[in-house]
Amino acid sequence: MHPTAAHDPLPFFHKQTIFLTGGTGLVGGCLLFKLAMKLDTGKIYALVRGSPERAVSQLRDIIPNQVDAILATNKVKLVVGDICEHKFGIDPVVLAEMARTVTVIIHSAASISLRTTQRECVEINCLPVLQLAQMSSSFENLSKFVFISTAYANSHLPDGVIEERIYPGGDAEQQLSRIMEAGSLAEGLAGFTHAYTLVKNITEQLLLSRNPHLPILIVRPTCIAPAISQPHPYYSRPGSSPGSGYVQRYMESPDSGVFHVSSFHPTGTNIVDEIPVDITANLILLHIMHDTRGIVHAGSESYVRRTLAQLHQTIIDHFPRRPGSRRPEFRYLSMSDRRVPQGRYAEFLKTFGRDWHFSNAASQKFVALEGPLSIALGDHDAGRFMDERAGLISADVVRRRSSKASAKL
């Protein structure tokens, strides 16, 4: 389906002034590229930490061949600040200019660490979102406030279908007060996998309940994978793709390979939900353009569904062998066998053995759309792509291993 005039993103984005946070991150870097290079966006204020020079050097690490072209568009203004500071530490003159002109806020800055305490996580992943919503009440022309959450914001729910909505749960105001006062909930993680997912859940609820008049779009990606093609094939940021991190760690030092899986998938046939970052970015931008409000998922239902066992087979196929080393083995234990502990990576991630089905119903209407925001896969071969991705990770593990060995000589 060709984009009709009403669905052509170019005239729409040409009229927009975007405030993007997290523009040096995995998702934000891709959004920055798309907005500046593919959509000819009117203007982009990109919040960066430290200094513009630091940000450019970070971007050079992840998009070395695109960064100069992005800056040469003269559409991007790097705004120094920090989301943990009052009014993000933005120069008041620049903030006043933004309040007059910004039409769309995309808040992608966050800590994606699964090791933070509840208190640390609230400080970086919740309070800044609520502060930004407050700041945006003085933005005169705002038509969309986008918060990037995570599909695992519902990791307290049992396996099964997760819809694009808020599920009834704890009182988020009380939960926030308790974490601020005591450091954590009395009931610990309250069934969530990590502080990160618990706090995303609290943040979604508070953002919506405290700001009923704000045009909010919450996007919940599943695990984000490297780009299929934009800004460049395999574009990623080290440490930001959980699937790549898992493959890399496993190749560096395999563990027992034991996984606790649902009894419906005793051979690891549950889906490990991943979506490439460029499809994620296109979905975010499509929903902005189509004025979607509320909650949408971005996951494998909009890409390709792959199982845990397939991921493991890819690791086995590309495992960097050393003389005398054995091929890794994976064991899937369903409920009855859980006296045997999981391997350490499985235990750390907690989500790869689960069997959630994240509905992408809100994005189905975009499947056949063509143009710069197309999510159609064309001749993309997902199996070959995954193989090449694992091959790159394997080669990197070997390279680092041999440079470590030569450093010891």
Q: Shortest approach of ligand NAP to residue 86 CB, angstroms? A: 13
Contact 364, 268 (CB under 8 A): no
Quote the least distance from Cβ 388 to ligand NAP, whole Å. 19
Nearer to ligand NAP by Cβ, of 131 and 240: the residue is: 240
Shortest distance in whole angstroms from residue 367 CB to ligand NAP: 21
Instruction: Tally the C-alpha atoms within 13 A of residue 355's C-alpha that lie toward its C-beta.
Output: 16
Closer to ligand NAP by CB, 17 or 116: give it.
116
Token pair 């390709």 in the structure block, residue: 304
Candidates 255, 119, 120; CA nearest to 178 is 119
Pick 167 or 264: Cβ nearer ligand NAP: 167
Nearest residue to ligand NAP, using CB? 25
Of residues 103, 107, 100, 105, the one with CA closest to residue 126: 107
Of 87, 213, 218, 203, give the one whose Cα is nearest residue 142: 213
* Contacts with 352 (C-beta within 8 Å, 6 or more apart), sequence order: 246, 259, 272, 308, 311, 346
Residue 316: phi and psi, rounded to 5, are -60, -45
Which residue lies nearer to ligand NAP by CB, 146 or 309? 146
Q: Return the sign of the alpha-carbon dihedral for residues 375, 376, 380, 382.
A: positive
- Spatial contact of 191 and 114, defined as CB atoms under 8 Å apart: no
As a whole number of angstroms, the distance between CA 315 and CA 306 comes to 13
If the CB atoms of residues 33 and 332 are measured against ligand NAP, the closer one turns out to be 33
Q: How far is the CB of 263 from ligand NAP (least distance, A)?
A: 27
Between residues 104 and 224, which has the closer beta carbon with respect to ligand NAP? 224
Residue found under tokens 């499985």: 346
Residues that bind ligand NAP (CB under 6 A): 21-22, 24-28, 47, 49, 58, 82-84, 108-112, 124, 148, 150, 221, 223-224, 237, 240-242
Closest distance between ligand NAP and the C-beta of residue 329, in Å?
A: 27
Task: List the alpha helices (DSSP H) in 254-341.
Answer: 277-289, 308-318
Residue 260 host element (H or E)? strand 258-260
Structure tokens at 53: 């020079």
- Residues 6 or more apart from 274 whose CB is under 8 A from it? 222, 223, 224, 225, 243, 299, 300, 303, 306
Closest separation in Å from C-beta 385 to ligand NAP: 17
Task: Tell me the two tokens of residue 63.
Answer: 């998009």
Nearer to ligand NAP, 82 or 387 (CB): 82
In the bound complex, what is the minimum distance in angstroms from residue 33's beta carbon to ligand NAP?
13
**b (16+ CB within 10 A) / e for 167-192:** eebbebeebbebbeeeebbeeeebeb
Q: CB nearer to ligand NAP: give 214 or 258.
A: 214
Q: Cis (ω within 30 of 0) for the bond into 266?
A: no
Q: How far is the CB of 221 from ligand NAP (least distance, A)?
A: 4
Which CB atom, from 251 or from 277, has the smaller least distance to ligand NAP? 277
Distance of closest approach, residue 373 Cβ to ligand NAP, in angstroms: 18
Q: Minimal distance in Å, beta carbon 199 to ligand NAP?
A: 10
